[in-house]
Chain A
Amino acid sequence: MSRKVLLVEDDRVLRDSLREALSIEGYELKTAASLADARAQLEHLALGQSIDLVVLDLGLPDGDGQALLSQLRHTSSTPVIVISARDAEGQKIQLLDQGADDYLVKPFGIGELLARMRVALRHRGHSAERALLVYRHGPLEADLRARKVLLSKVEVHLTPTEYALLARLVRQAGQVVTHRQLLTDVWGAEHVDQTHYLRLYMGQLRAKLEVDTADPQHLLTEPGVGYRLAESDTTD
């Protein structure tokens, strides 16, 4: 069964070209040019129908995407990928903090969008359990059930904090996790502004898990936004 995608984008040319590109990849596309349009489409879904993923542009004529995101989160865990221009930095991070799954900065290639969509669908999709608990990327393996981290089959000793940080990233492997989300989940909500905790612990993790810390392959930085653990090799 093909996945249903709602594309909310006000620019007609971009909307049309994305629709064609995604249709070729086998997605079933619904499009909306405004927030009101998108809301109406979500409300009038035929019985038993659902949207599997929303691609949401931030620069819409009738307001920001926040309302739509909270409406979506109210009823479901439908993955949301935010598309933003560079100057909507703050809003983008806000949406990620509130549960959007990932983001793309305009202009982007179709390959990037497809990769983000694939990861998002995998996390919210049918094979969720497996993908969340076992991570494998190149020489790095993490098994959250056994609380084990292996590098080239050799167990790596991590401190509890390092492990907690890695585990949080593994649960959302391939997706960006914002500073705020990491700080809240690992240290607690009262530490959300202490981003330097992350810098220090991520540095320690890179020292233990990366071959060249200046050229990391697993623990990727999204400057100004958060961190992303490279997408797991595990296939569904």
Chain B
Amino acid sequence: MFYREAGQYKTTYAADLAIFPIRQDRYGLMLILIVAFVVIPAVGDQFFINTMMIPFLILSLAAIGLNLLTGYTGLLSLGTGAFMGVGAYACYKLETYFPQVNILVWIIASGFVSSAIGLAFGLPSLRIKGFYLAVATLAAQFFLEWCFARVPWLVNYNDSGAIEVPTETLFGVPVTGPTATPVTRYLVVLTIVAAMAWIASNIVHGRIGRMWMAVRDMDIAAQLIGIRLLRAKLLAFAVSSFYIGVAGALMVFMWLGAAEADAFNIDLSFDVLFMIIIGGLGSIVGAFFGAAVIHLLPIALRALPAMLDLTISSKTIDQLTYMITGVLIIVFLIVEPLGLARLWQTVKQKLRVWPFPY
């Protein structure tokens, strides 16, 4: 009723195979992009853009990256935080060696560094699976974190042991550093995230995505139908690490402004993993849902008491936030174990046939 596709005739195969075959979906996506690119920069205040939207987009990108590996290829990884760190440190090193090159070039380039490291740690994936692979990637997490803390070359021998972000410009407008306005940084992040989400969506709907899913569903069967496992798995590691690396570089350069090794600890890995589990394994939109639940929900909850004029101490608010977020996650997973993306699918289906469900 609300979501009718009656009268929408497909006259070509291409139209039938489109990612968004239904008109309402295409309009919906356009509406969302207009809101994201025009409305939010125009009306959002600094807190909303700086603290909510920029981190939300960056974490979504990391979640998309992990989803390519874990959700689509079925390779469980606990090294996300470290791979984000690789991206961040690579971007910092490249930027300090060649400050004249545009920072956006280095943000994308740092993805390739992360990709190379991801390939190296992905090699064991041919022989080990499931939890054992998780442990191997856990080793990557600890090893890389150790490197960030112990290799002074990575931080250019700074006494503080942290990487700092200098001011860089794009077309004369500062995009990093303290003088970059939140709106500028938001638009840069949004552009990168939107472009990379689009590319990811195309990858998973194409030959490569099908190959990954075949490997996920049964790797021996995939091998029998002619998929080369090592290649498929390594490709998943490389592409996934690329996304995660870019997210890490964005995190330091567009959001935190400075970072110690501890910013890329195991908690970050778990956060991103929870995002894809809650959002939905094997779904691009699920990455956005998951990031919203893990990052935006606690902030909204923290803002609630002030809005209702309740005087609750900051400590209690914080603890309540943890508890409520935890409960909500459990509720979401009970209602729909396959994640919010699946829930959204179900809702859409219901809307389609309402009020005459069959």
Chain B binds chain A: no
| Chain A residues packing against B (C-beta within 8 Å) | none
